[in-house]
Amino acid sequence: MKKFLNDPVNFVDEMLEGIYRAHPDVTYTADDKRCMVTSRPKTGKVGIATGGGSGHLPLFLGYVGDGMLDGAAVGGVFQSPSSEQMYQVTKAIDQGAGVLYIYGNYSGDIINFDMAAELADLDGIQVKQCVGNDDVASSKVGEEHKRRGVAGIYFVYKTAGAAAAEGLSLDEVHRLAEKARLRTRTMGVALSSCVVPEIGHATFSIGEDEMEIGMGIHGEPGISRKTLGTADAVIDEMMERIFAEQDYKSGDEVAVLMNGLGGTPLEELYILFRRVAQLLEGRGVKAKHVWVGEFATSMEMAGASVSILHLDAELDRLVAAPANTPFFKHFSA
Amino acid sequence: MKKFLNDPVNFVDEMLEGIYRAHPDVTYTADDKRCMVTSRPKTGKVGIATGGGSGHLPLFLGYVGDGMLDGAAVGGVFQSPSSEQMYQVTKAIDQGAGVLYIYGNYSGDIINFDMAAELADLDGIQVKQCVGNDDVASSKVGEEHKRRGVAGIYFVYKTAGAAAAEGLSLDEVHRLAEKARLRTRTMGVALSSCVVPEIGHATFSIGEDEMEIGMGIHGEPGISRKTLGTADAVIDEMMERIFAEQDYKSGDEVAVLMNGLGGTPLEELYILFRRVAQLLEGRGVKAKHVWVGEFATSMEMAGASVSILHLDAELDRLVAAPANTPFFKHFSA
């Protein structure tokens, strides 16, 4: 295990201490560093909260800030935070306009967020939920409720965060988050495993010349393992699955998130994005907003995912709105 | 070699195609994609140019934009761009106020930038130069002219870019860039090698439990290879070298760049930064501006570097000024 760490038991807490020391824009509530909230709350707006396991930076903590999220609870590496932690974040960020939970479709998170929502309800805090399930590889069409949430949740954060910043109601913010969720599709590919610090060895093994298409961000099995092809062939296979799911017409506009899983250099992400752009262009679809980099990782896992958000006028407006968080900054055009 | 690529010969050109397709804020001159210039030139200001080998994203290309650089020329992976490419960038960005070159202390780059400056002089374009040499590990005190330029060049870009955006003269922008250069120190550590695509195997080998303190960003030898210690011990050793070079007093302020070399997860960078912050605090030195992430990489190399800029009032102002480039965005406080 080749990692910079002290005692693996302290991996998450030392990481959190580093984050709070680096970024005065975020703080924590309930005397618990795992309950992050913005240091710059905006009065009266709908609160947006997320949460999930550690090990995916900049997901989840990285998006707490202006124009995005108001709070996030994190657990141990790849472990759900507790319902109590989610509830504490909820209480801290509620401004009387209600709170929207946005998180990925994993059973532990669902149980804990549901319980936090019940606790909040007893306090008179209205909570709505949006459960990200963008990973096309994790189940077939017609069984989308079984799909995992992966990097495409970024588009839901961006949309809902901008809508809340505009002062829209909880119902409206929820409607827009749901629209972004339903119009986002992601496909991923992994080349190597990550190492969970407290375990100390690779989560899975994969051959020196192999890739696994559709692998989840915790190492969940994908849909095919085979010899690593060219960058173009990998993207062709991934994009074919995405194109099959939404009816893209010439003239349509999309936002693209070309995401690295951690160990893959930015240079390679651009080589992959080049092919995504070519395929979109071939269909007459415009990549109107593009982000390339690391947005949802699995620590040192080599690999990438591509997420496509099918835009309409209101999604276009919200995705392009400004944001200023420790890990993600966006100037409006 | 586990990389997303097509023909390795096209690695740089396909990467560049991806960048231009993703980011309309940048374009290129002289019909050569390796000669990047901003798409939003500001009239009348001093131009800032950089350049160097590919394989270090977001260095060098990533800092072309508002408040930072106006142009960058890149070569093949770890290879200098040509003097002709640097000259073409110079011509394209000159607005009559002269051009400042900021690049790292590598012989190929020096020869080519010097020649480009001579060609520009024949056209009546005034050029000044600032050659980054922040890598403490690459030679001893008193022989700083032999030191390599590494991630700390980011502070020189940020300072000079902000000074040029303020409308200062070439002499002033050069003076400030030099001040930032002379007050910046970097120490790095590598845990694994990168793979140059056209070579196809690791540049160097290193044991499963070893680290190399002071290794350069192209794999140049460092100052010691030994068993990987704890994150705190690694930072203690690196910071001791940096503290020995500048006279830090209680009450002084610094900017910190905690940089990942490519393969190291963001979580670990925050664990490393935590210790940097503790050591600074122990000396009564305030980390006023902090950036943690990937700013100068060696593709998939695992490792990190820490750069410290010793602030004064004018560096404080310039480092904190806003910037908006494809890879680096900063809102003023």
Helix (H, G, I), strand (E, B) or coil at A333: coil
Integer Cα distance of A39 and A187 in angstroms: 34
> Does A330 reach chain B within 8 Å, measured CB to CB?
yes
Residues sharing a CB contact under 8 Å with residue A55, sequence separation 6 or more, in sequence order: A77, A78, A194, A196, A297, A298, A299, B265, B267
Question: Does A332 have pLDDT greater than 90?
Answer: no
Report the residue of B267, B270, B295, B300 to disrupt the A interface, i.e. the one with the largest count of A CBs within 10 Å.
B267
> Does B324 reach chain A within 8 Å, measured CB to CB?
yes
CA distances to A102, A122, B79, B88, B260 from B108, rounded to whole Å, are 51, 68, 8, 17, 25
Mean pLDDT, residues B200-205 taken together: 92
Mean pLDDT, residues A27-42 taken together: 97
Do B270 and A15 count as a contact with CB atoms less than 8 A apart? yes
CA distances to A233, A275, B15 from A230, rounded to whole Å, are 5, 11, 14
Question: Does A1 have pLDDT greater than 90?
Answer: no
Question: CA nearest A293 in B: which residue?
Answer: B327
Mean pLDDT, residues B196-218 taken together: 93
| Residue-level pLDDT at A316 | 98
| Residue-level pLDDT at A30 | 98
Phi-psi region for residue B170, left (φ > 0), alpha (ψ -120 to 50) or beta? alpha
pLDDT band at B246 (very low <50, low <70, confident <90, very high): confident
Question: Does B174 have pLDDT greater than 80?
Answer: yes
Helix (H, G, I), strand (E, B) or coil at B215: coil
Q: Contacts of residue B274 in chain A, CB cutoff 8 Å?
A: 14-15, 17-18, 21
Do A267 and B228 count as a contact with CB atoms less than 8 A apart? no
Integer Cα distance of A259 and A298 in angstroms: 11
Question: Does A38 have pLDDT greater than 80?
Answer: yes
> Does B267 reach chain A within 8 Å, measured CB to CB?
yes
Of A14, A230, A302, the CB nearest to B271: A14
Phi-psi region for residue A214, left (φ > 0), alpha (ψ -120 to 50) or beta? left
Angle at A309 between CA A182 and CA A241, to 5 degrees: 80
pLDDT band at B332 (very low <50, low <70, confident <90, very high): confident
Question: Does B333 have pLDDT greater than 70?
Answer: no
Q: Tell me: the pLDDT tens digits for B210-232?
A: 999 999 999 899 999 999 999 99
Confidence check on the interface: ipTM exceeds 0.85, yes or no: yes
Do B302 and A2 count as a contact with CB atoms less than 8 A apart? yes
> Does B282 reach chain A within 8 Å, measured CB to CB?
no
Nearest CA distance, A83 vs chain B (angstrom): 24
Q: Tell me: the pLDDT tens digits for B100-140?
A: 999 999 999 999 999 999 999 999 999 999 999 999 999 99
Domains located in chain A, CATH noted: 8-182 (3.40.50.10440), 184-330 (3.30.1180.20)
> Does A237 reach chain B within 8 Å, measured CB to CB?
no
Q: Tell me: the pLDDT tens digits for B257-272?
A: 999 999 999 999 999 9
Q: Are B301 and B194 in contact (CB under 8 A)?
A: yes
Catalytic option among A23, A56, A289, A310: A56
Integer Cα distance of A261 and A297 in angstroms: 4
Q: Tell me: the pLDDT tens digits for A84-109?
A: 999 999 999 999 999 999 999 999 99
Mean pLDDT in chain B? 96
Over pLDDT 90: what percentage of chain B? Answer: 98
Q: Are A173 and A164 in contact (CB under 8 A)?
A: yes
> Does A273 reach chain B within 8 Å, measured CB to CB?
yes
Question: CA nearest B232 in A: which residue?
Answer: A6
Catalytic option among A218, A289, A310, A330: A218
Q: Which residues pair with B38 in a beta bridge?
A: B26
Catalytic option among B174, B218, B289, B330: B218
CA distances to A5, A99, A148, A291, B153 from B319, rounded to whole Å, are 30, 36, 41, 25, 12
CA distances to A39, A66, A284, A326, B83 from A321, rounded to whole Å, are 20, 11, 25, 16, 41
Do B273 and A14 count as a contact with CB atoms less than 8 A apart? no
A174 is catalytic: no
Q: Tell me: the pLDDT tens digits for A104-133?
A: 999 999 999 999 999 999 999 999 999 999
Report the residue of B1, B2, B3, B4 to disrupt the A interface, i.e. the one with the largest count of A CBs within 10 Å.
B4
B330 is catalytic: no
Sheet with B71-77, strands from edge to edge, namely: B26-28, B35-38, B71-77, B47-54, B99-104, B127-132
> Does A6 reach chain B within 8 Å, measured CB to CB?
yes
Mean pLDDT, residues B74-91 taken together: 98
Mean pLDDT, residues B219-246 taken together: 95
Size of interface A-B (CB pairs under 8 A): 172
Integer Cα distance of B114 and B112 in angstroms: 5
Question: Does B321 have pLDDT greater than 80?
Answer: yes
Integer Cα distance of A91 and B38 in angstroms: 45
CA distances to B105, B165, B229 from B308, rounded to whole Å, are 18, 23, 22
| Residue-level pLDDT at A333 | 67
Q: Contacts of residue A289 in chain B, CB cutoff 8 Å?
A: none
| Residue-level pLDDT at A247 | 85
